[in-house]
Amino acid sequence: MMNNLIYLLKQLKNIEKPNSKLEQYFTTPELAVRFLKKIDFKNKTVVDLGCGAGILGITALLLGAKKVIFLDIDSGAIEISKDNYDIIKNQLDVGEAEFLDEDISLIKSSLNVDIALLNPPFGTTDESKRIDSIFLKKAMKIAKKVLTMHKTATKEYIKSIMNENNFNIVYNENFLFPIDKVYSHHTKEGIEVQVTLFIAEKVV
């Protein structure tokens, strides 16, 4: 089954001209399946925050989510997410999709979902410092469970935010996230960044 999912995800389009200010990077199908298989998506409503090309949200649909809300500030990314959803929808009977071209800071807390997925900008530049924490805090306001990725160097800080927001970490794993040479400031063909995956649940 895992190989079938990866095969389907490899058909998806990527963002042709990624925006460096938005830190747009592509999560590989292998990583998307490896991590999202750790969650039960059956009949769940999911939001993919900062969805980019939509690979996390589409993986959730393939794993049984009944609805995924794809949200990104980049209208071009939303259009690609729509195209990618159509690619999968034309082959399989998957759940419903909703697409929101919106700034994450404007999303109302009343948007209540079961699970939030995010591979946020890591916020390591002066312009975007700690923007990943903005994504995370919003996710914890609207979802009962979050799956999120952050640079391992900020691991303790991320843990403290989750604790302050009454979320319990049920899984965490360090891994190497591959980043291709996509921006003019990149000097190497490709690098691997040490990242930590967190799965956390709201304490009730």
Cα 70 → chain centroid: 10
How confident is the model over 3-58, as pLDDT tens digits?
789 999 999 988 766 555 545 567 889 999 999 999 999 999 999 999 999 999 99
Q: How does strand 167-180 pair with strand 190-202? A: antiparallel
Query: What's the pLDDT score for residue 184?
Result: 46
As given in the structure block, the two tokens for residue 97 are 């999709």
CB 76 within 8 A of CB 109: no
64-73, 134-143, 181-190, 191-200: least confidently modelled range: 181-190
Query: What's the pLDDT score for residue 21?
Result: 58
Structural domains of the chain, with CATH: 35-202 (3.40.50.150)
Q: Please report which confidence band the pLDDT of residue 123 belongs to, taking 50, 70 and 90 as the band edges.
A: low
For the whole model, what pTM was predicted? 0.86
CB 92 within 8 A of CB 62: yes
